Amino acid sequence: MIVPLGHVLLLAAALFLLGAVCAAVRRNLLLVLVGVEVMINAAALAFVGGALRWGRLDGQVFVLFLLAVAAAEVAVGLALLVRGYRGTRSVDSDCYRALRG
């Protein structure tokens, strides 16, 4: 492996931070979903780096599962968003305030 593991992990951490900030500050629920996807891809990058560092395959296998799970999650999330949109006509998180104390 030519690139040191530390550099890969730093890149992955930066990517994760970007995704987390996007998920935390965006009001548009579709962009929150995009942020979550970026977080999961950061995890995949760190897995590939770790697998190369240790010369093991299980990290690479984890990435395959991770991609499948992320796709399933997006499918369910978009379906729920369509269901919510029918009630509120909005994908803005501020429009979902029927449940409060």
Partner 1 sequence: MAAPWLPELVLALGGLAALGLGAWLRERAAPLLLPLSLAAAAASGALAAAERGYGAFFPVLFCALTAGVLLFAEPYARRRGLLGDEFYGLVLWACLGMVLTASAPSWLTLFLGYELLSLCLYVLVALPKGRLAGEAALKYFFVGAVASGFLAFGIAVLYAATGTLDVAASVADRASAATAAAQPWARLGLALLLAAFGFKLALAPFHLWAPDVYQGAPAPVTALLAAGSKVALFAALLRVACSAGDPLWAVGAPTLALLGTLAVVVGNVGALTQPRAKRLLAYSSVAQTGYLVLALSAVRQGGAAAALFYAVAYSAADLGAFGLLGSLSSPEREGDLDLLADLRGMGATHPWRAAAFSVCLLSLAGFPPAAGFIGKLSIFVAVFRAGFVVHGLVALATTAAAAFVYLRLVRALYALPPEGQPAVFVAPKAALSERVAAAAAVGVVGVLGVAPSLVFSPAARVLWGFLHP
Q: Which positions touch partner 1 (CB under 8 A)?
A: 5, 8-9, 12-13, 16, 19-20, 23-24, 29, 32-33, 36, 39-40, 42-47, 49-50, 53-54, 56, 58-59, 61-62, 65-66, 69, 72-73, 76-77, 80-81, 83-84, 86-88, 93, 96, 98-101
Q: How far is the CB of 49 from partner 1 (least distance, A)?
A: 6
φ, ψ of residue 28 in degrees (nearest 5): -75, 120
Tokens of 48: 């590939």
Contact (CB, 8 A) for 61 and 24: no
Q: How far is the CB of 98 from partner 1 (least distance, A)?
A: 5
| Cα–Cα distance for residue pair 4/37, rounded to 1 Å | 25
